[in-house]
Amino acid sequence: MFNLEEEIKKLKAEMERLKFEYNQFFAGNRKLPPYKERADFEKKLKELSKRKFLTHGPKYMVETLIASYNSYASLWEKIMREIEEGRYVRGKGWVGKNEILKEKIPETLREPVKEEKKVEEEHLSKIYEEYCELKYTLEGRVPIDREKFIRQLKETEKKLKMEKGCKKVEFRVVVEDGKAKIKVIPVKE
């Protein structure tokens, strides 16, 4: 006797297996894409989709399975196209424009890239300078020393990232009630 729910569960498990096989291929752990497994799965899915259903529940489950498969299939086709065009390297992932350009530019002509921490330090120093200038203009005094100020900004940034779940925090120097203040803005990019 045909049990629709069991059939759908088996196909879901097969789709997960197919997804795993494609991931293995894209990671470089498998020589060829799983074309045979995919063809077998598509055949079973097509047979199941042709069946008539008495209720909407099973029909919905089958349509959901088909939609999931179509999403994965379009992703796999996209990655295969990217591999053929050289924008995706198996085992490494997508190759960005910058990486391609770096390979084409001779080492002697490349500009030295600033480290992310140096850029962050420079940005926080700039915030400190803006804050000091505004504070002196409005209140006639200079705040705490640079290292302590930057350390407090970093602690605030770390705390906000944990609390708000954001990846980035922006600091802005603003005037509120005639006083210089630092406005902290969490950015969820």
The single-letter code of the amino acid at 186 is P
19/101 same-domain check: yes
- Higher pLDDT: 158 or 96? It is 158
Q: How confident is the model at residue 160 (pLDDT cuts 50, 70, 90)?
A: confident
Q: Domain end: 50, 76, 108, which one?
A: 108
Locus of tokens 């085992």: 91
Count how many residues are written for the chain: 189
Domain extent, residue 99, equals: 4-108
Q: How confident is the model at residue 119 (pLDDT cuts 50, 70, 90)?
A: low
Q: What tokens were used for 64?
A: 């959901």
Distance CA(174)–CA(172), nearest Å, equals: 6
Q: How confident is the model at residue 1 (pLDDT cuts 50, 70, 90)?
A: very low
Q: How confident is the model at residue 99 (pLDDT cuts 50, 70, 90)?
A: low
Distance CA(14)–CA(11), nearest Å, equals: 5
- Name the DSSP class of 32: S
CA quadruple 148, 149, 154, 156: dihedral sign: positive
Q: What tokens were used for 14?
A: 């097969």
159/95 same-domain check: no
Helix (H) or strand (E) holding 88: strand 88-89
When divided into structural domains, the chain yields a total of 2
